[in-house]
Amino acid sequence: MVAGICAGAVAAAVLAAGTGGAQGYSVRAEAHFAAPGAAHAKAFTYDRKLVPAGSWIEVRQHTADSGATSVRLRVTGLVPGHAYGVHVHQKPCAADPAAAGGHYQHEPSTDPAAANPDNEVWLDFTARRDGAGSAVARHSWDFRPGEASSVVIHDMPGTKGARVACLTVPFGPRDGRS
């Protein structure tokens, strides 16, 4: 019976694998979004109109030895034509949308002007007619260990939107330290 309880959550499981060392660091996480009450979920939807349960997200990070970092986002099953805001946040996702904490910042600051796509990782996108979307962000810097742990989707681009979904992603620095 225990297996039966967990079987429904298989589709919500995050598949994450990181590799570190001399070749830089790569990580990939993917999941189908689940309602906050779902057992074992690593990707939560907080607004099932804008991010329907069962819609899908994939995030990949690659950091070269130089520290140059790319973060790529792919989604399916979202609302065609809707413009979403997306950022890398500091903490893992949980049932409470606030659990993911604030934005990851390369140079941490309380100045609102520091919340910009050069100092943070933004992956804003507009869903295409088929509900799919994608974005990529590139920076010359890598993440500090343990300080970048999720991707949060907001209901509008920029920094003012409400949190509508979240995927936990184990972002890491060029040497893979966590």
Nearest residue (CB) to Cu ion, 87 versus 91: 87
Site for Cu ion in 106-145 (CB under 5 A): none
Separation of alpha carbons 71 and 24, rounded Å: 14
Per-residue binding string, Cu ion, 22-61, x by CB under 5 A, is ----------------------------------------
Question: What are the DSSP calls for the chain, one per residue?
Answer: -HHHHHHTTGGG----EEE-STT-EEEEEEEE-B-TT-TT-SEEES-TTTS-TT-EEEEEEEE-TT--EEEEEEEES--TT-EEEEEEESS---SSGGGG-SB--SS--S-GGG-STTTS-B--EE--TTS-EEEEEEES--PPTTS--EEEEESSSSS-PPEEEEEE-----TT---
In angstroms, give the least distance from the CB of 131 to Cu ion.
Answer: 21
In angstroms, give the least distance from the CB of 159 to Cu ion.
Answer: 7
Which of 32, 42, 87, 174 binds Cu ion (CB under 5 A)? It is 87
Contact call for residue 169 and Cu ion (CB under 5 A): no
Contact call for residue 78 and Cu ion (CB under 5 A): no
Contact call for residue 166 and Cu ion (CB under 5 A): no
Which of 43, 73, 152, 164 binds Cu ion (CB under 5 A)? It is 152
* Interface stretch with Cu ion, choices 7-15, 41-49, 62-70, 85-93 (CB under 5 A): 85-93
Residues at the interface with Cu ion (CB under 5 A) = 87, 152
